[in-house]
Amino acid sequence: MSAELDVAVVGAGMAGLTAATELTRAGLDVRVYESSDHVGGRTASVRVDGYTIDAGAEQLSPHGYRATWELLARLGIPESAVPLIGGPIAMWRDGRAHAGVAEPRGLLTGAGLSPLARVDLVKFQMWLAQRRGEFDTDDPDRTCLADTTVAEFARRYHPDVHDYLLQPVAGTFFGWDTERSSAATMLSLLLAVGDASSWRTYCGGMDTLARRLAAGLDVRTGQEVQQVVSTGQGARLQIGSETVTARSVLLCVPAPVAARLHPGAPEPEGEFLRACSFTPALKVSCLLDRPLAPARGVPPYVLLTSQAEDDVLSAILFDHQKHPDRAPAGAGLLTLMPNAATTSDLLGLPDAEIIARLTDAAARYLPGFTVANRRNFVHRHAHGLPEATPAALALRSRFMARRLRPIDYAGDWVMLRPASEGAVRAGALAASRVLSRLRAPLSIPTQARSRRVETA
């Protein structure tokens, strides 16, 4: 019996939508199955009462996001639709916000670092500049420091470099515990995305690109895939009471979900899937009746707090500062993010309790917050961000050299990169693997076969 589809893509996040776009362009019959009622996955946005709330991802950079910018150009989305973010990243210390985190001027201002730590920040920057070529976001496993955690690396420097720079940045932007995640990945990413003053966001919400991609595809939302089984030449998907067959299936879901949907994954796929742990992420949106900012200094886009001082919050994001279209005129929008250590404990609590814990913590930094805060939303991500531990990095090259099979994978975790660019790159790579497999000649002469990538 012939398969109903050429390719079934599971998950309409950036990885799945990118892969489906490439495969549809190549002329294949592709369908995307998405369990939730909207596309975008962890880049989704929610629209309420004139506010546009980014429920997951917040920003992108003109640097280190090559595949994303190429996709935007191909879709005719101009750079002006992805404008610069207004406002710096600041670090809270000694009762005030210190701007300049992840910017060159931070070397001068210290951005919350003590004078002795600033000297070490210069040493750290010089060390990084000399080894720039050794860090690669596409191959973090081949990068120096692959077996060193961020916290181990930070011990080379003054404790402030960890407590008031690397920990708050890793905790907020990657959702990481510095004792677990690899320094190689973090430093590769920081080098790739560059100066925070160049970061950008989409007009109209972070789901802009996902929605545009989905518009050109056959996407079925509200369709949760329960299981995927290889049939040798193709695969079978179980979706509720329906069974669908496809010549290829792409699992574009977080690694722990892929492992659950395809429990019989052969090695070396299985071992990498099991090693690709994720940290959970949680955000509380605060719809304000006015745009608030910390009492002194330039209004920041992000106010970071150190786990050494605050055992609840990791950051406050000022979404109205990020882009004026996130809140109605005269109003404000904030995002509260708990620190990595607290997120797991909070995740299972009722919304009201999470909101109370985070808003109580935020009031300390923002005069007038309690009065201005009108409505709150909780966004939970059980699989928030791939951890990129040294153990996962060590298994990645074997996974990348895996055979072409009917069931394959995409997602930020494939690149061990906790960013939408990782998902786009993994989606494009997965599409090329599916094309190689489906378009491989049926009968290949023996000598030629030994030179080809093996297909199952």
Residues that bind ligand FAD (CB under 6 A): 10-16, 33-36, 41-43, 56-60, 224-225, 252-254, 257, 261, 281, 283, 381, 384-385, 411-412, 418-423
Burial class of residue 55, CB neighbours in 10 A (0-12, 13-18, 19+): buried
| Nearer residue to ligand FAD within complex by CB, 285 or 306 | 285
Minimum distance between the CB of residue 198 and ligand FAD, rounded to whole angstroms?
A: 14
Our CB check for ligand FAD shows the closer of 275 and 372 to be 275
Q: What is the end-to-end Cα distance of the chain in Å, rounded? A: 19
Strands (E), 83-157: 89-93, 96-99
- Closest separation in Å from C-beta 10 to ligand FAD: 5
Residue pair 284/43 in contact by the 8 Å Cβ criterion:
no
Cβ closer to ligand FAD: 58 or 177? Answer: 58
Q: Which is nearer to ligand FAD, 3 or 15 (CB)?
A: 15
Q: Give the span between the Cα atoms of 326 and 341, in whole angstroms.
A: 29
CB of 41 to ligand FAD, least distance (A): 2
Element spanning 222, H or E: none
Closest distance between ligand FAD and the C-beta of residue 332, in Å? 20
Q: Minimum Å distance from CB 174 to ligand FAD?
A: 8
Nearer to ligand FAD, 117 or 334 (CB): 334
CA distance 39 to 26: 22
Minimal distance, residue 279 CB to ligand FAD, in Å: 9
The residues, ordered by sequence, that sit 6+ positions from 352 with a Cβ below 8 Å of its Cβ are: none
Nearest-Å Rg of the Cα atoms of the chain is 22
Nearer to ligand FAD, 160 or 412 (CB): 412
Least separation in angstroms between CB 426 and ligand FAD? 7
Dihedral sign computed on CA atoms, order 189, 192, 198, 199: negative
Residue closer to ligand FAD (CB basis): 117 or 428: 428
Nearest approach in angstroms of CB 338 to ligand FAD is 11
**Distance from the Cα of residue 330 to its chain's centroid:** 31
Q: Of 31 and 42, which has the nearer Cβ to ligand FAD?
A: 42
Q: Closer CB to ligand FAD, residue 357 or residue 381?
A: 381
3-state secondary structure of 154: helix
CB 166 within 8 A of CB 160: no
Residues paired with residue 92 on neighbouring β-strands, in sequence order: 97
Of residues 56 and 110, the one with the C-beta less far from ligand FAD: 56
Query: Where are the strands (E) in 179-268, listed by range?
Result: 219-220, 225-230, 235-239, 242-251
Torsion of CA 63, 65, 67, 70, to 10 degrees: -60
Query: Angle at Cα 62 formed by Cα 84 and Cα 186, nearest 5°?
Result: 110
Nearer residue to ligand FAD within complex by CB, 372 or 414:
414
Query: Closest approach of Cβ 94 to ligand FAD, in Å?
Result: 28
- In whole angstroms, how close is the CB of 281 to ligand FAD at the nearest point? 4
Residue 63 beta carbon to ligand FAD: minimum distance, rounded to whole angstroms: 12
CA torsion sign for 163, 167, 171, 173 is: positive
Q: 234-238: long-range contacts at Cβ-Cβ below 8 A with a sequence spacing of 24 or more?
A: 234/3, 234/406, 235/8, 235/406, 235/407, 237/8, 237/10, 237/33
Q: How wide is the angle at C-alpha 58 spanned by C-alphas 75 and 12, nearest 5°?
A: 55
